[in-house]
Amino acid sequence: MRKIKIVLIALTIVCYGYGFSQSQQTEQTMKTKNNQEERIALEKRIADAGGDYVSLTAAEYELLLSQPVGDIEGFDPLVKIMGGIMVGYGYPDGPKVYKTDIQIVFPNIPNISAGEVYVIFDHVKGSNGLDYLDRESNTEIKVDGSYPESDFTQLNLYIKSAGSKSYLLGSRYVNLRDPADNMTVRVLGALGGEVGLGVVSGKVVMELPTNITGLTLAKEDIGIEKPFAGGLITLKDIKDDNISFQFKGDRGKIYSWNAYDNANAILEIKNLDITDDIYALYAIHPNSMRIYKSEVVRKEYPFAFGKESQVVTKEVSPGLPEKVSPASPIVYLDKNDPIAIAIKERALSDIKQSVSKSDPESPENKLIAAKVAAWPQEKQDQLMKVYEKSIHDYPAQAHLDVKIFNAGTFLMVYTDFGKMNPKMMAEEYDIRVQSLCGNNYAAEFWEDSEAHARANANNPNVEDIEIIKDLIRLSSGQQSVSDEDGTKTTKMVTLKYTKMMALLYTSDKEGSVTFHDPFQAMMDFIKQ
């Protein structure tokens, strides 16, 4: 049953979205109270460990990461994720004028170290709308959507303190290149000329060790072979300046180790020597050691900051809304452009077919569920990772607001759109085609609020998706607009049109377009 359930989770997008919406409305108060109690107990457990490794679940890590760090002198956050993760840019320990590095600040959670936290970018746009991210000199996200982690994208981590709180500061350099000549190197704080920083989008990736378990080895264990992490471990020797062991197995399954003195205090390991399968940990007067294994859970936290160009309206009709002081230009194809025509002609049917194909009750998907249920657990887990990655990445790639369109929200709205009557959608939504980098495009569904209100005037039912629509309108309603004398002021502006969904497309040299289905990566994996 468990194996079949895993497959249905990946295929049943309706249940995913509905559960997300309901939990936000009915359980928030109870969750807040329970989270506070859980956090207090969790922090006590961490303190009692005295700096040793603490076995945590993925949910416990996120509870710790949700706690705000507070104001930090010299760090100006541009966006916050989950409450406790802050993203900004600057230069480590240097003058504020050098803004070359992306920086993140998050609570000092246990078990985390250098090489386990990354920042990977989708794009770094200038105020001219061009993408300055250098995709050739490092392993930023590629045109095909891949982004292998490397020494370049991982963060250097520094333990800092603010008052009585300790936190982690992560930093890495960002390679930018001027798209005008594809040669001139730029930095975050200086894109060149009058071009300012526009919109930055990416994700913080953490590889979190969960379910940590350890094996203690002391003098009485010398020479005794013991099973560990799918292999065999033997304590070889304890000397005055080192402790050594032999491990026969997959080294990647060993998470870490600690050496201890006679008082069971953790010793500083001054050096590590690995020769074949013999490990020697150099420390002063070691008495015992503990070696650990864990299950690593990958967590991705999308972010975006800057001034995205929003199309806002004064009361104008009919036709498209009047643009008011866009912060950075976004390029839309003309309605008579052949690519725009081709995409708009198929967008409604593409999303409808996509949602229909993902129906878990269809005969085809029932056969798929049976096929996947027979897979080894490791392969099923790989399928879930492929699915989760594609659903988390799609909104950012389609230039939806990632602060609103997380995986649950995106799936809920996507499913709702796929089940709508095409005639009703044609009346209520205007489809605009935005030009992205290269030959990529986004088909955006903009809701005509007046048409929508007329269509629902006699409908007593309030759909879950209305909650998301209100959230989008609220977040987009405060705009910087120019008065007649040119003075910019921030005020609430009524949005006649609201962007509710976006689909990804690519065109080839002949002008034909290909739809990128959010679930395609999962289906391709299943067909392998």
- Distance (Å, whole) CA 146 – CA 359: 27
Per mean pLDDT, which range of 111-125, 160-174, 491-505 is the poorest? 491-505
Which helix (DSSP H) or strand (DSSP E) does residue 389 occupy?
helix 377-397
DSSP-derived letter for residue 174 is: -
Residue 166 has pLDDT above 60, yes or no: yes
- In the prediction, which pLDDT does 223 show? 95
Residue 513 has pLDDT above 60, yes or no: yes
- Most confident option among 14-23, 220-229, 472-481: 220-229
Looking at residues 78-105, what average pLDDT do you find? 76
- In the prediction, which pLDDT does 458 show? 47
Percent of the chain with pLDDT over 70: 74
- Distance (Å, whole) CA 336 – CA 339: 9
Q: What is the pLDDT of residues 333-360, one digit of tens each?
A: 888 888 888 899 899 989 988 888 877 7
Domain spans of the chain, in order of start: 50-306, 309-527
Task: Please tell me the pTM assigned to this model.
Answer: 0.51
Locate 370 and state its tokens. 């049976």
Looking at residues 254-272, what average pLDDT do you find? 91
At residue 309 the predicted structure's pLDDT band, cuts being 50, 70 and 90, is: very low
494 or 68, which is more confident? 68
Per mean pLDDT, which range of 116-130, 243-257, 333-347, 446-460 is the poorest? 446-460
Residue 287 has pLDDT above 90, yes or no: yes
Looking at residues 191-206, what average pLDDT do you find? 84
- Distance (Å, whole) CA 282 – CA 304: 44
Strand partners, 498: 447
Residue 222 has pLDDT above 90, yes or no: yes
For CA atoms 184, 185, 188, 189, give the dihedral sign: negative
Asked if 503 and 439 count as a contact pair (C-beta separation under 8 A), the reply is no
The tally of CA atoms less than 13 A away on the side-chain side of residue 183 is 1
At residue 278 the predicted structure's pLDDT band, cuts being 50, 70 and 90, is: very high
Q: Decide: residue 342, CB within 10 A, 0-12 exposed, 13-18 middle, 19+ buried.
A: middle
Residue 430 has pLDDT above 50, yes or no: yes
Strands 271-275, 256-260: pairing is: unpaired
444 or 13, which is more confident? 444
Residue 311 has pLDDT above 50, yes or no: no
Looking at residues 477-489, what average pLDDT do you find? 46
212 or 3, which is more confident? 212
Locate 388 and state its tokens. 């989760």
Looking at residues 325-332, what average pLDDT do you find? 52
Looking at residues 375-380, what average pLDDT do you find? 86
Asked if 513 and 339 count as a contact pair (C-beta separation under 8 A), the reply is yes
- Distance (Å, whole) CA 105 – CA 86: 5
